[in-house]
Structure 1
Amino acid sequence: MTHEHPSLTTEHVFLTGGTGFVGQAILERLLTSHPKTRITVLVRGKGSQTPQERLTGMLRKPVFKGWREQLGDDQARAEFARRVTAHEGSLGDVGTLPTDIDVVLHSASTVSFDPPIDEAFETNVGGARGLYGALLESGSDPHVVHVSTAYVGGIRKGVAPEGSLTHEVDWRAEHDAALSARVRVELESRQPEALRQHLHAAKAQHGKAGPQQVARLAETARTEWVRERLVDYGRTRAESLGWTDVYTLTKAFAERAAEEMWAQAGHRLTVLRPSIIESALHHPFPGWIDGFKVADPLIIAYGRGQLKEFPGLPDSVLDIIPVDFVVNAALAAASRPSPAGEPQYLQVVSGASNPLPFHRMYENVNAYFTANPLPDEKGDIAVPLWRFPGGEKVERVLARRERQIGHAERVVERLPATPRTRQWLETVGKNKRGLGRLRVFAELYRAYVQTEIVFDDTNTRALLASMPEDERKDQGFDVTEIDWEHYFQGIHLPAITALTRAFGKRPPARERAERALPSREDVVAVFDLEGTVLGANLVQQYLRLWTRTVPRARVVHDLADLVLSSRRYWRAERRDRGEFIRTFMRRYEGFSVDEIEREVQGRFGRAMLRAALPDALERVQQHRAAGHRTILVTGTIDLMVEPFVPYFDEVVAGRMHVRDGVLTGYLADPPLVDEARAAWLRQYAAQHDLDLDASYGYGDSHADLVWLEMLGTPTAVNPDVQLSRYARQKKWAVLDWTRRARPSAPSAGSDDQQVTLAEGV
């Protein structure tokens, strides 16, 4: 040590992970408490922002608020520009480092416990290799504070010492194997058997949306399979080597890289192992946190009533540490290096000196959300009582409920699409998501809520004791001062629930869909007909027209044929909307065009208008009042949609082949459905200079999915089961439009109203 009470003074500090949670807090503390230091931050550009612009933009973050207010905005910006420099690069490509670095604070790592194996190794292990390789090449001889994790020792029981890990795994070989895993899995995913499986599943679920949509979703399923496979690779390889997950495995290997590449080369190294890092106790202000951290998703899920039980051990120690304690320990360690080649290990933890049993954590969370319940659309959420029945019992109950939910989902999917069916489906989906959430949390948090490890903190307490008393008060990390009830109920839980409310400010999709429409002339509102504007499908339309035109001698024959053909039509509709239209329209063979036109002008037309959904017609009028171009697009033939011409700026319909004034039963053009409608809409928008990202779409069928996705505001109206599920996943508005008193029809005298035939599509 260079003096009795060492502290950072004029050092040049190199910081990695500076835009992350811990990195931001380190940077702020250097600025506020070590005013003569210079800081270089490893940072990439982002979008159009240069690395320096991105770094300067961080000044707007809450962590720097106190410092900005103390100096004033102008002086703070000037001081930041003078003291903080961006070094363009990443952990994978650090670049050429300055030659005068005194201290390195390496806090960058992956933020996920369960990433794909190649991503975890590339960031944590490859990042360490890249950093230490660049430091060796630079000629600098800094003291490196390598931020790791207390859980780096793997699956074990008892006391975890502050020392080098004892494993003998070849971390370089593991790194190489992990990086090659993606190539192997990608090849596996492209085998014909795997591709056929994805195609079959996509066609079964999304066939009505069109072949390109099927192909796209099959490829999405393949890439998701690749990711899940690589996640499983990481999880399984970690467990096979004795670690809880790939995160702790790669952090262990990163430590070994630091020891072998830096400490054994004769340089100074401190390995800092914090436990679960959460919001600040004191600095920069109580409750400061940058997004949800390790324990917070579990806490919020509980507060939302989504976790009825959890497989944790009530007497296990949940080791939590406030972020300011980690920062203070890191900077104290940075100024007090051990001799070169003799790395020191510090575990910044609470479990040994101020243990927090899991049941005490639960009691605090339960008490807080009982007194301060989170709201939902039905009122305040009542949180569940956990009885800690044990992991095996929770697993059995979870598996049984998963089977029950799967069976219920299959049953509901086969029912006709009605508001009640959609509500059942939403309930089933909500329960399924809840079970999935519990499954994920149980797997991710198992090592942290069932642990029997106690982390030794002897070296860390000795470091604290070496600090002068005045420095300990402001920059200390004495975990015995933490009152867990005060910390959770007065600081941490209010902080993360405030984040929840901030994230929840966006109004629900239904409310957004029903807001007043902005006035614009470059947008279009596209409406499907059957099920969206008209409460009658193709079969019902046919029957209404058929009853007015069929000769009595054919009544029995035609009815019998319709009944016998119903299953064929149903199958065609499930496979492909266009196939159904082609098949069903054959029934119009022999219908007279003149007779159809007379009926459309008379009773049939009036019946069609009576079947119109007033909510739809009102919405059309709202769009027209806002200056939007309104279009009705339908697979129904043009002869039968004349009653709706007055409501829309344009009606786009199909045609049937006519011979000698009689319908032949064949379509004159391919049906304008699914991908054909999307292609037509894309061309139409280009011709009329329309902004599809600002436009609106209303459809009821899974076949409408492709063209709805092209529009900025898609809305599912009276949707079938598949579209309802997809819409809720994508947070689209889902509306139920029903029959009631019909609004008066608009004037039909506008010059720009027309029927456009779907020719050449």
Structure 2
Amino acid sequence: MGSNLFLNSVSSLSLSPHKFLTVFENCDKCFFRKKSSSTSSSTSVVYCQGGGNKKRSIVVEKDQKSAALMDAGNLVLSPQNGKSQIDQINVVKDMVPFGGATTTTSLVDDVQHGIGIVNFLRGKSFFITGATGFLSKVLIEKILRTVPDVGKIYLLIRAKNKEAAMERLKTEIINAELFNCLRQTYGKSYQAFMLSKLVPVVGNVCESNLGLEGEFADMVVKDVDVIVNSAANTTFDERYDIAIDINTRGPCHLMSFANKCKKLKLFVQVSTAYVNGQRQGRIWEKPFSMGDTIASENFVSETSSAFIPTLDVEKEIELALKSKQATADSHEVTQKQKELGLERAKKYGWQDTYVFTKAMGEMVIDSMRGDVPVVIIRPSVIESTCKEPFPGWMEGNRMMDPIVLYYGKGQLTGFLADPNGILDVVPADMVVNATLAAIARHGMLQKPDINVYHIASSVVNPLIFQDLARLISEHYNSSPYFDSKGRPINVPSMKLFGSMEDFSEQLWRDAIQRSGLSPMASNSNGKLSQKLEVICRKSVEQAKYLAKIYEPYTFYSGRFDNSNTERLMEMMCEEEKMEFGFDVRSIDWKDYITNVHIPGLKRHVMKGRGMMINSTST
């Protein structure tokens, strides 16, 4: 038997907005079917989630005599491609989420009224971890600017005491340039407004009960409506024990705390799209269950189960702790822990310690969530803001930024990357807008499901590496850095190398050229002089290390499907799309890279260093 599901706003199809569809519980491919109610000719849509990650959809023509089989991605993500088969299919909304209930009955909100983002956020209290981090600041700013009548926003801050936490709040958040729009809006009352909304809470996600003191713990438990976990260690090759502590045990402590909260409506985990590890091709928005591994997905069915690695998260935590205790020397501990993290990640099908421990964090959340509604936000590479609160704001070096800066300064002429590969980039403000839309949507529904959203561009608006390299080159040719003597640094066109060997050879050539020394100096057999080698080796090894760490990403063959995210966007009314837009299709990469991101990098990260003083052109 199936259960009824309302389908709303199937644009341009002859299905009426509230036709009943049936979700068949016993079908392992779980498909939708329009109930027969008339003998008249009409168009039907049958959606099928096949085995594994493969999705198919059948679209039946109005004459009911022929059927066209197409990928669900073409149906949902690229509606313009379906015009030859049917009369403009725009979207099919509200498919059953991965990991959610097998059957669902829901009436999608009328698109004219939208999700109701502002209405939901009004008066709600938030508890945010990783509060002083880049993305959390953008989230806090957006909430306060668009919904000033939001409730309290409790910020978990690592500090010795309340006074130290308050000092961090003022220094790192209230005084940050990011909040200039709010500062201008409230004028002299700006700080009073901020302190009336933001409550610093001393604590640590690595500790049980988050290290909260009794009074603060009770206050948050009674008051909080939404928990947003944005705390993370994002170092790709971090020590295994440190990464596990924050990225895996942290969500465990938070979910345990969440289950105590009296009126909690939603738990939001800010993850990364790269928790999908070494998956290839189109990657669906699917949650992890405890013990899932990417390696097991890659084994053929004939492989004996004895050879498939079995992941036990609890044992991984124990392993990291034991390995730390087994070695006394601090340098040796660090090195062994780094090696252990990479070894364990690759064994189970992830490229590095960061994404492996984040994936295990998702598994822990799924296993502990009970009746708590959960949203997993998986952004790809988060870079500077596209529009809000102003274009180009960022903090610290993000993933591609060291390469951009080294190249602009003439310290790199290229990098290790697949020229035809894709760097999946999303602006921070789009990530925040999508997060708030998901919070409102699922905070109102309050269903004990787990919903995953990829905030990513690789499927719908890919940024190709060779195009990125060209845009970076064009920017620095027109707006170069200046050396200490005020001379413009001329850079050649950025090269991309397909192998570490080719990249390494280029690094040595560049290092020798920059040194101004002859490679034959004081050496008759053509080997580098000792002086030259000392000068060059350090810069070469640093660049090779960076390339090695980034290689899994600069040659990444996965593409992040964002069907759930696009359906979420289509539930929004026009006013919400203007205020909380996150359409990655709309990004003009040339404009974003050359006029927004790199200028933002120069201003907010480099603080103007290397820019010509008293010059109208930078």
Q: Secondary structure at the match of 2:452?
A: strand
- 2:140 match: 27
Distance change in 2, residues 1:502/1:387 (3 Å): closer
Q: How many residues align?
A: 456
Distance 1:367 1:146 in 2: 38
List gaps (5 residues or longer) in structure 2.
1-106, 294-309, 524-528, 612-618
1:46–1:468 CA distance, 2 compared to 1 (3 A):
farther
Encode CA deviations 1:615-641: one digit per residue, 9 max, x unaligned.
Answer: xxxxxxxxxxxxxxxxxxxxxxxxxxx
- 2:322 corresponds to 1:180: yes
1:434 matched residue in structure 2:
539
Tell me: CA distance 1:380–1:402, structure 2 relative to 1, closer, same or farther (3 Å): closer
Asked if residue 295 in structure 1 is aligned to residue 409 in structure 2, the reply is no
Give the 3 Å change call, closer, same or farther, for CA 232–354 of structure 1 in structure 2.
same
- Kindly name which structure, 1 or 2, has the bigger radius of gyration based on alpha carbons: 1
Cα distance in 1, alignment partners of residues 243 and 489 from structure 2: 37
SS of 1:291 mapped into structure 2: coil
The match for 2:116 is 6
- What secondary structure, in the 3-state scheme, does the structure 2 residue paired with 1:502 have? coil
Q: Could you tell me which of 417, 438, 453 is aligned with 1:333? A: 438
Structure 1: which 5+ residue stretches go unaligned?
A: 190-222, 416-423, 507-761
TM-score by length of 1: 0.56
Does structure 1 residue 450 correspond to structure 2 residue 552? Answer: no
2:593 and 2:237 map into 1 onto residues whose CA distance is 26
Q: In the alignment, is residue 62 of structure 1 matched against residue 177 of structure 2?
A: yes
Q: How does 1:191-230 map to 2 (within 5 A)?
A: 223-230=330-337
Residues 387 and 77 from structure 1, CA distance in 2 versus in 1: closer, same or farther, beyond 3 angstroms? Answer: closer
Partners of 1:305 and 1:225 lie apart in 2 by 35
The AA in structure 1 aligned to 2:196 is: R
Inter-partner Cα distance in structure 2 for 1:170 and 1:371? 53
Measured in 1, the distance between the counterparts of 2:141 and 2:511 equals 50
Distance verdict in 2 for CA 1:500–1:259, change over 3 Å: closer
| Matches of 1:33 and 1:394, distance apart in 2 | 50
SS in 2 for 1:376: coil
Q: 1:535-554, aligned counterparts within 5 Å?
A: none
What does residue range 378-457 of structure 1 map to in structure 2 within 5 Å?
A: 379-394=487-502, 397=505, 428-457=533-562
Match for residue 244 of structure 1 among 338, 341, 351: 351
| Partner-residue secondary structure (3-state), 2:422 | coil
Are 2:473 and 2:494, in contact at CA under 8 Å, matched by a contact in 1?
Answer: no
Structure 2: how far apart are the matches of 1:432 and 1:131?
A: 45
SS at match of 1:473: helix
Q: Equivalent pairs: percent with the same residue?
A: 28
2:223 counterpart residue number = 100
Query: Cα offset for 1:111?
Result: 3.1
The one-character-per-residue Cα deviations of 1:174-204 (angstroms, maximum 9, x if unpaired) are: 12212332222x24x4xxxxxxxxxxxxxxx
Give, in angstroms, the shift of residue 502 of structure 1. 2.4
Per-residue deviation, 1:169: 2.1
> Does residue 1:43 correspond to 2:157, yes or no?
yes
Larger RCO (CA within 8 A; separation ≥ 6) = 2
The Cα shift of 1:400 comes to 8.4
Cα RMSD, aligned residues only: 3.0
For the pair 1:137 / 2:260, whether they are aligned, the reply is: yes
TM-aligned CA distance change 1:336 to 1:48, over 3 Å: closer
Aligned to 1:478: 583
1:47 Cα deviation after fit: 8.5
Q: Whose helix fraction is larger, Structure 1's or Structure 2's?
A: 1
2 CA distance for matches of 1:17 and 1:274? 16
Shift of 1:160: 0.9
3-state SS in 2 of match to 1:85: strand
Q: Do the aligned partners of 2:508 and 2:536 also contact (CA within 8 Å) in 1? A: no
Using the alignment, how far apart are the partners of 1:505 and 1:399 within structure 2?
23
Using a 3 Å threshold, how does the CA distance of structure 1 residues 49 and 503 change in structure 2: closer, same or farther?
Answer: farther
Cα distance, 1:396 vs structure 2: 6.4
Q: Which letter maps to 1:358?
A: F
| Aligned ranges 1:225-624 → 2 under 5 Å | 225-262=332-369, 265-337=370-442, 340-377=447-484, 379-394=487-502, 397=505, 428-499=533-604, 501-502=606-607, 504=609
**1:121 pairs with 2:244:** yes
- How far apart are residue 429 of structure 1 and its match? 4.2
Structure 1 residues 143-152 or 427-436, which shifts more?
Answer: 427-436
Q: How far apart are 1:140 and its partner, in Å?
A: 4.4
1:67: how far off?
0.5
CA distance in 1, matches of 2:399, 2:405: 11
Counterpart AA for 1:14: F
Question: Residue 454 of structure 2 contacts residue 561 of structure 2 at CA under 8 Å; is this kept in 1?
Answer: yes
Measure the CA separation in 2 of the matches of 1:426 and 1:381: 25
Residue pair 1:18, 1:41 contacting (<8 A) in 2 also: yes
Q: Is the 8 A contact 2:232 2:247 kept in 1?
A: yes
SS in structure 1 of the partner of residue 414 of structure 2? coil
Change over 3 Å in CA distance of 1:441–1:250 after alignment to 2: same
Q: Distance in 2 between matches of 1:380 and 1:466?
A: 50
TM-score by length of 2: 0.69
1:149 aligns with 2:291: no
